[in-house]
Amino acid sequence: MVVLPDHLHCIWTLPPDDADFATRWRLIKTWFTQHCPSPLRAVPDPARSAKHEQAIWQHRYWEHVIRDEGDYAHHVDYIHYNPVRHGLSASAMDWPYSSFRHHVAAGHYPSDWGGSSMSIDGVGHE
């Protein structure tokens, strides 16, 4: 998982026979918005303000069913590299709002993985 200024990425295992991503995302975004400091909720874009939209989250979401171990690994890489891709940190380890450090502690990644020179072409996209 990684939390960025206007969106987040995560991998979920949903209960059997349940694919209600929309409700889950709505509840997560609503809870987070209600519990974050009010300056973060300021709406800088007049078009969003006119629609009574909050400023924190993108309104869309993208879901993808993981096909196999390789697909899982690619998506975990994409998630952890996202702060670097968006210019928010120099490496995956530098971004504090991520599960990357947990993965390093578990031995899944070296701590220097995911610097700004890394290429992730095609990772996380169908």
Higher-confidence residue: 62 or 18? 18
* Catalytic-residue membership of 97: yes
Please pick, among 61, 72, 81, 97, the residue that the annotation labels catalytic.
Answer: 97
Q: Tell me: domain 65-126, CATH 3.30.70.1290, correct? A: yes
Q: Tokens 């196999």 identify what position?
A: 68
* Boundaries of every domain in the chain: 18-63, 65-126
pTM of the model: 0.74
What are the CA-CA distances from residue 3 to residues 50, 68, 69, 103, 105 (Å)?
26, 24, 23, 16, 19
pLDDT at 77: 94
Please tell me the distance from the alpha carbon of residue 79 to that of residue 85, in angstroms, as a whole number.
Answer: 10
pLDDT at 73: 93
pLDDT at 6: 78
What are 33-92's pLDDT values in tens digits? Answer: 788 766 666 656 666 566 666 566 777 778 888 999 999 999 999 999 999 999 999 999
pLDDT at 101: 95
